[in-house]
Amino acid sequence: MPLTIHPGSPSWWLSPDIWVSPPGDSSTVVANPIAGQNYEVVVRVWNLYSIPWPDWNLYVCWAIPTPSGPIPLPPNSQQLSAPPFGSPINVAPNSFQLFTFSWTPSYLNGGHECLVAVAYDQLIGGPPGILNANGTDTGQGDLCIAQHNLAILPVGSQSHHRFQYPFQVFNIADVEREFVVGVRQAPLSEIAPFHAGFPGGRKFVERPGKVEEAGIFTSPHPDRIDLEALTPIAEHVKIPPHSSRLLVLKGHLPSGNALLHVTQSFDGRVLGGLSVAVTAEEK
């Protein structure tokens, strides 16, 4: 693929080439955007070859919190319209270029960073209909997809450091499918590239905590909490065709900071993921 937007590693939905900044300041990272305020989504596009590649374009969109991986994202996703969309981009050989898109987070997603960028050859006629955000099984070599799916969730003493985070799981297939949705704690080092925008900056990743009772709540009434219904791996999550289902991530973080990965799998393959950085640190 001539133009590249790097995926995250080891979690491909945490791309280091997509971030949020204040308007006009692409060097400052905002890791916890506030719904209703104005920001810019910055996308870093690389040309890793020694020749230019004309006639390329860039598509960027956001969606409410979801680990689903296909493009286009669920119906409530919205394209971010700003230059260079609609006109070719040309990144100089062996270099990168930053592109910015204006964004005002919606109250639908609470400021959650579920952002997707697609660099594609305009000769294919625009972003393809259905792709995988991890870049696999696309069947084409003339596009590059990356995703940045991250949220910061503070827990306060009034809640006894217990937290809950709602998200949706989607099924874009024409038939009902059963998914496996799981949560696991990961090392804070995985979000070190974004520490500049976290509360406390670099100290965020230096104060690890241990999440207790982490689980996925699958009840259609998430306000009716039944601890026995919590499980780190929710199997047999049935979703009708072209539909979604509300789930809730819950847990307890007594102190420090923690990173949780939520993944959606089908037939043994991870389709998508979202990450939640939980903090019990006082401001």
Single-letter code of the amino acid located at 194:
F
| 3-148 and 153-279 have identical folds | yes
Beta strand extents in the chain (DSSP E only): 3-4, 18-21, 39-47, 56-62, 70-71, 78-79, 95-103, 113-121, 131-132, 143-154, 162-171, 177-186, 212-217, 233-239, 243-252, 257-266, 269-279
Instruction: Check residue 127 and give its pLDDT.
Output: 60
d(CA 4, CA 210): 36
Q: From 22, 1, 271, select the one nearest 149 (Cα to Cα).
A: 271
Contact 40, 23 (CB under 8 A): yes
d(CA 257, CA 209): 5
Instruction: Check residue 19 and give its pLDDT.
Output: 92
In angstroms, how far is CA 137 from the centroid of its own chain?
A: 20
Question: To which residue do tokens 């319209």 refer?
Answer: 81
Sequence-separated (6 or more) residues with CB below 8 Å from residue 9: none
H-state helical runs in the chain: none
d(CA 57, CA 106): 25
Instruction: Check residue 158 and give its pLDDT.
Output: 61
d(CA 146, CA 124): 18
Sequence-separated (6 or more) residues with CB below 8 Å from residue 37: 104, 105
Per-residue pLDDT of the chain (283 residues; tens, 9 = 90+): 678 999 888 898 999 999 999 999 998 888 888 888 899 999 999 999 888 877 788 888 887 667 765 554 545 566 775 545 556 777 889 999 999 988 888 766 555 668 888 888 777 655 645 454 444 433 345 678 888 888 888 887 667 888 988 888 888 788 999 999 999 999 999 988 887 778 777 788 889 999 998 999 886 555 555 555 677 888 889 999 888 888 889 999 999 999 999 999 999 888 888 999 999 876 5
Instruction: Check residue 73 and give its pLDDT.
Output: 52
Query: 3-148 architecture in CATH?
Result: Sandwich (2.60)
CA atoms within 13 A on the CB side of 20: 30
β-strand pairing of 143-154 with 269-279: parallel
Per domain, the residue ranges of the chain are 3-148, 153-279
Q: Which CATH superfamily is domain 153-279 in?
A: Immunoglobulins (2.60.40.10)
Q: What is the Rg, in whole angstroms, of the alpha carbon atoms belonging to the chain?
A: 19
